[in-house]
Amino acid sequence: MEKLVMDIVNAGIALFRSGEEKLRVSIGDLDKLYADLKSKGELDQSEQAQKVRELLNKTITEAQDAIQKTNANYSEVVGKLQVNYQNLIQQLEGSLPPNIKEKVEEAIAELKALLEKVQNK
């Protein structure tokens, strides 16, 4: 039984190595093809090619702007939540009976942990 297991492991290793070499060759071929296509595309200065380039640049720029705005809005929302959280804590400190205050503190601790988790993303 041990020999059979070792034979299967060895066959798996050989299969993996064979596939690994084929993958390397394929990646090399793909790199060559990409470089060739890129060179041919750079040589094409037709009006149609220029329009495609402009459209692509515009699309990339708009996507980057949208991502930046989203990140800014996200930070703003998290900041507002933190301010509201601090205000809530201050208001609750003096106005709650001890037994309710304990439950509220537990809920606030969970909220604080959630805010910290969101900030660390």
Determine the pLDDT at residue 118: 73
Q: Average pLDDT per run of 10 along the chain, which is 121 residues long?
A: 79 79 84 85 85 85 84 78 76 69 76 76 63
Domain ranges of the chain: 1-43
Residue 112 CB partners (closer than 8 Å, separation 6+): 85
Determine the pLDDT at residue 121: 63
Q: CA triplet 1, 20, 33: central angle to 5 degrees?
A: 160
Torsion, Cα 109 111 116 119, to 10 degrees, reads -170
Determine the pLDDT at residue 94: 66
Determine the pLDDT at residue 86: 78
